[in-house]
Amino acid sequence: MGTPARAAQPRVDVQVASRLPGIPPPALFRRWIRAALAQPATLTLRVVNAAEGRNLNSAFRGKDYATNVLTFVYHEPGAPELLGDLVLCAPVVAREARQQGKALADHYAHLTIHGALHLAGMDHERPRDATRMEAREVALLARFGIANPYPADAPG
């Protein structure tokens, strides 16, 4: 009797195009993504500077500012393999971590998991979906010993 088949681990290419200090090593980004995704995936995670983050957000979302995380989905709904890109803007992540009093690596973990869940089809447009997505994020972060990133008094 053979060993049971194991789901393929997501394949993650990590690119760092920012020189800011404190960016986690590629192995950590891969661990966070693998925890978040329950199906095969091929993706690139790119950590960018403010100019690249702003250009991407402007070109693809029509918003002329850098944002913390962008998820680009290339697979069709229901596809057996997830395909996409996650883009994290290092200066925005660092600023938010400082403002929110969070460890920088913990904030990177949260945003990486958040982006990966978007890749898997989750969203937070409706309150019910936001509650479901946030609960999944909190549970995944707890596996890494990271506290709930959502303030108790924040609206759902």
- Structural domain includes residue 27: yes
- Structural domain includes residue 156: no
The answer to whether the beta carbons of residues 86 and 41 sit under 8 Å apart is: no
Q: Which domain holds residue 88?
A: 11-143
User: Which of 2, 93, 7 has its CA nearest to residue 50?
Assistant: 93
Burial of 130 (0-12, 13-18, 19+ CB in 10 A): middle
Q: Kindly report the CATH number assigned to the domain that includes residue 100.
A: 3.40.390.30
- Structural domain includes residue 2: no
The answer to whether the beta carbons of residues 33 and 42 sit under 8 Å apart is: no
- Structural domain includes residue 4: no
> How does pLDDT run across 55-75, given as a tens digit for each residue?
999 999 999 999 999 999 999
> How does pLDDT run across 14-60, given as a tens digit for each residue?
999 999 999 999 999 999 999 999 999 999 999 999 999 999 999 99
pLDDT band at 151 (very low <50, low <70, confident <90, very high): confident
- Structural domain includes residue 155: no
> How does pLDDT run across 64-105, given as a tens digit for each residue?
999 999 999 999 999 999 999 999 999 999 999 999 999 999
- Give the chain's domain count: 1
The answer to whether the beta carbons of residues 46 and 73 sit under 8 Å apart is: no
Question: What is the model's pLDDT at position 152?
Answer: 75
Beta bridge partners of 152: none
The answer to whether the beta carbons of residues 61 and 70 sit under 8 Å apart is: yes
- Quote the Cα angle for 133-146-154, to 5°: 50
- Structural domain includes residue 90: yes
- Structural domain includes residue 111: yes
